[in-house]
Structure formats: C-alpha cells, structure tokens
Structure 1
Amino acid sequence: MKVLAVAGVVVLFLSTLWAGSAFGHGSTIDPPSRNYGCWQRWGHDFQNPAMATEDPMCYQAWQADSNAMWNWNGLYREQVGGDHQGAIPDGTLCSAGNTGGTRYAALDEPGPWEATELDTRFTATVHDQALHGADYYRIYVTRQGFDPLTDELGWGDLELAGETGRIAPGEGTPSSEPSLGGVSVDIEVDASGRSGRHIVYMIWQASHFDQTFYGCSDVIFR
C-alpha cells in the first residue's frame, strides 16, 4: 500500500512538472481559460469532493479527463493554415474541435463555469510558456444575447474584440510564477455594449510552426 501511495505522489508530481515545463505552450491566464482556471483552483486538491458542489463545471471536466487540466497549456491544433472555422466545427470551439480526441471535450459543455467579473474594456493576458511568439493573437467575445449557461458556442456567436500583429519569440512580460515560466502577452479588448455572462475566445497563431492555440474564458461584464 505504501508503494502505491508513493507511486501516486510521483505521478502527480510528474504531471504537475510537465504542465509547468519547457514542453508546455500556453493559454489565456486572465481571464483564465476554463482548463487553466480549473487547474489553478483545484490542481492542488483535485480529489476534494467539495468540488462537485462548489465548482460543478470543473468537477465534470476533472471527471471526464483530468489530463485536460494537467495539460492546460496544450490545447492546440496543427496545420490549420488559418482556416479556423474549417478546422473546428460549431459546438466544439472550446476543445478546438476535440483536439487530442476527447481530452478537452468537457470544456465545450454549457453551464455555470466560474466567471471573472470585468469591465467591457479590459486587458486579456495570454501566457506564452515556451516562448513561441505569435503571428497574431485574436480575442473574440460572444454577442449580446448569447447565453453560456445553455448555448453551445459557435462561430456565429463571436465578434472580434481585440487583436495583435506579430509578437517576436520571447517578447512579453517575464513570469515570476514558478509553475508558469515564459512570458505573458497583453491584448487590449473592447467588448462595449455587453453586459452579463459571456465567453471570451482566444486564438493564438504561434510563429514557430503552424500551431494554433485556442481557449474559452468565462466572464461577467459589469
């Protein structure tokens, strides 16, 4: 029994190490993407039964595939060629078209995900853990009237609210957080005319390779 317990600790340690290592890539960390937020809140306590009532959407995601949280920095597709809508069907935007099989599928579930309260003009922060740089970052926000509690996210629900040009590898603010490393890039976002619950959708076209990262973040506009 002691051997099994030690083995479990080793697996947990390696999973956490991998998530924060140079093999990682990145995600939106403010407002946090669904899987990054779940990892941030529960990665240290993911077996706590209280998650089921305190954070039910994270709970269903952990139950579906815990690797979606340990690998919060690996939600990407390759060889998209800029055709995001062609590569990712409606209803699967948060999982990037079920990239990695069903690993991230639970992130597509509508429901009361933990949401960040924001003004409609805000700064989105994407973390580039492995210093990939970017051809561009694009930040979309759902149209007024979309209901993240009940509606599956489709491309027609989104409006472009912020974007960048090319970001050189290593450009950004270095992180002092040991589990992150790398740099963070800020994108100014204008979501004027909205109120209540919304989804912020991030597309990050990495510059080192045809590799595109995606992420859904839940917000409440004041």
Structure 2
Amino acid sequence: MHAPKPGQPGRHALRALVLLVALLVGVLPWAGPAQAHGTIVDPGSRAYRCWQAWGTNHTSPAMATEDPMCYQAFQANADTMWNWMSALRDGLGGNYQAATPDGQLCSNALARNNSLNTPGAWKTTPITSNFTVHLYDQASHGADFLRVYVSKNGFDPTTQRLGWGNLDLITQTGRYAPAKDITFNVSTSGYTGRHIVFVIWQASHQDQAYMWCSDVTFA
C-alpha cells in the first residue's frame, strides 16, 4: 500500500469527506418541482405582474417613477416577486376569513408579502364585465375549487387596504383535474373603473390555500 503524498488526504480521510458531503446533500433544502406552485396570470396578480414587468430589470431606477407600487414591493422584499408562485398557507380547512385578517388579503396573511397589501396606484389589467381567469399551476396540482370576488363599488384600492367586507362573491368553480393551465369565464355586471379581483385557490393535492389580488379596470 502506498502512503499518501504530503498534503494529500489518506483513504480514511477521503471516505469521511465523501460521507460528510453526502450527509450535507441529504439535509439541504433544495428547491425542486415539488415546491413549485402557481398564481393567477390573467388578470395578473400583484406579485406576478411586478415580476413580469421588472424581473429582468429590477434594479432600474426608472421603476420608482414608472411603477411606484412595484418599486415599494421590490424594496420591501424582492423575494415576494421571485416567489410569485408560492403565496400559500397550509391547513386552513376552508376557514379563510377567520384565518386572514382584514388588510392582509392580498398577501394571504404572509408577513414576507406584506407589501402587496399596500394601497396605491397598482397597474391594472383592462377587463370587461365578462372576463377570463387564468391560473397557471407549475406543478399541476389541480383544484378543489377557485373562488372569485370583486371589490365592491365605492371601495378605493388606491387608499384602502382590502377587507372581507369590501368584497362581492361572484362565483365558485367546481373541481379541476391536475393541469398546468386552468381557465374559466366569469360574468359580472354593474362594475366600472378600478377594482380588485380577489381569488382563492384551494389546491387538490393537500390542504393548501392560495389568495391573490389582481388590479383591474372594468371598461
């Protein structure tokens, strides 16, 4: 058997190093497909729309003047936009209102996403009284249902945080099989100007609830 050269580890040391690396790999929290989820991409949710508009240019000073609401969100916590697909909470058991205080609906009561609750002139998506909701689900979880609300006439999202009393329930869908793209039509009447479309997605694979605000302008 040859002795190791000076400065080189012996066989036992190499084996110990390999075991240590394997152990570390086993405990590190790698982010893979199982952690991928989704959001409403049309009309785009606040975090998704900011990521879509500024994700490749998030250091641009122009954002402060061109899109001040996205700017404050990036300044508060850029991870809110990078993880636009992960605004979920586990184990609510359908008790969405009891588990989500007024003023925290747009963040799904997640402290890291609190900037999404800030009132202001968020960029809006133009829609009509009959519009389509598009859920993009990276991991194809499917849905027990999606519930769609619209903010009441008289509510001003530029100056007020959204609460449950500010919402009209428009529709609740049935179950959807696992798919990356889920779309459905929503019919409303009597809304004009700036509103919030608020959506709850109850995922099918386990008790995970997602909530988002999408800023819209009704034609």
Common fold by TM > 0.5: yes
Is residue 49 from structure 1 mapped to residue 58 from structure 2 by the alignment?
no
Q: How many correspondences in the alignment?
A: 189
Partner residue of 2:7? none
Partner residue of 1:3? none
Q: Which has the larger radius of gyration?
A: 2
Partner residue of 1:80? 92
Matched residues in 2 for 1:194 and 1:217: separation?
15
CA contact (8 A) 1:118 1:219 kept: yes
Is residue 213 from structure 1 mapped to residue 206 from structure 2 by the alignment?
no
Partner residue of 2:159? 150
CA contact (8 A) 1:90 1:155 kept: yes
Partner residue of 1:200? 197
Matched residues in 1 for 2:137 and 2:67: separation?
27
Partner residue of 1:89? 101
Q: What's the TM-score, normalizing by structure 2? A: 0.84
The alpha-carbon distance between structure 1 residues 44 and 187, as it changes in their structure 2 partners (threshold 3 A), is: same
Partner residue of 1:168? 177
Matched residues in 2 for 1:190 and 1:111: separation?
26
Q: How does 1:1-222 map to 2 (within 5 A)?
A: 23-97=35-109, 99=110, 102-170=111-179, 183-222=180-219
Q: Percent identity?
A: 52
1:13-34 CA-to-partner distances (Å, cap 9, x unmatched) read xxxxx6x955310000000000
Could you tell me which amino acid in structure 1 is paired with residue 75 of structure 2? Q
1:154-174 CA-to-partner distances (Å, cap 9, x unmatched) read 00111112321111123xxxx
CA-atom RMSD in angstroms: 1.3
Query: For structure 1, which runs of at least 5 residues remain unmatched after alignment?
Result: 1-17, 171-182
Could you tell me which amino acid in structure 2 is paired with residue 135 of structure 1? D
CA contact (8 A) 1:162 1:187 kept: no
User: What is the deviation of 1:187?
Assistant: 2.2
Query: For structure 2, which runs of at least 5 residues remain unmatched after alignment?
Result: 1-30
4+ aligned runs moved over 4 Å, structure 1: none
Could you tell me which amino acid in structure 1 is paired with residue 212 of structure 2? G
